[in-house]
Structure 1
Amino acid sequence: MTEWLRQQAVRTGLLTLFCRHTSASLLVQENASPSARRDLERGLARLAPEGDGYEHDDEGPDDMPAHLRAMLTQTSLAIPVIDGELALGTWQGVYLFEHRRGPQRRQVALHLIGE
């Protein structure tokens, strides 16, 4: 994403990201410590646990919990672009959070407005 942004040659603007799936989400979170991501994943698992008797389990026991976790987070982000860079804080990074057990093929749409 950072390389793509550089190629656009936009100095000032707004980058919108959209996750095209219902069981994954986009988050801006701490990028300094891997323990922060692990704690976030554990917290979401407590809020939407597997094996809680969900009706919607078409793709397995992680199906509905993944949808709930995506519902509790975000599927789109809007991040300012300043001097050609994402205007993120020192400890911020953009993450695609996968809420299913196994690896999935995911798409994120990018839309950039600026000059």
Structure 2
Amino acid sequence: MRVRRVAKRISECLLETVGEAVAEVILTLLACTLLAGLVLIVYLSWSSSPRLTVAGAGLFSLFLAHGAWKIFRDPAKSRGHRGLAAATTTGFTLTAATAVFLLLYGAGCGCV
């Protein structure tokens, strides 16, 4: 009886360790793919039109700044422009989550 319990615990531990290693590899590959895609987008955009790339980056920065401002400010009493606020807040949240993901898993990418 004891041998079976010990063997079962060891197999569960090994299965968990292998699962975590596989998940780490998958997340690192996903981060490398995402980083390579972002670099490719910037490269193609810059080679097409540097002025439009800078203008687009500026507009995207304003979009993210508005989203951050809506998240971190005190709640307003007016209810105007709720659609824009929702869009910019969602965009800021997704961009921040992507940045944290790339910071944690993109650092292990050998391409950087």
TM-score by length of 2: 0.22
Structure with more of its chain in helix, by fraction: 2
Normalised to the residue count of structure 1, the TM-score between the two structures is 0.22
Structure with higher RCO (Cα < 8 A, 6+ apart): 1
The structure whose Rg is larger is 2
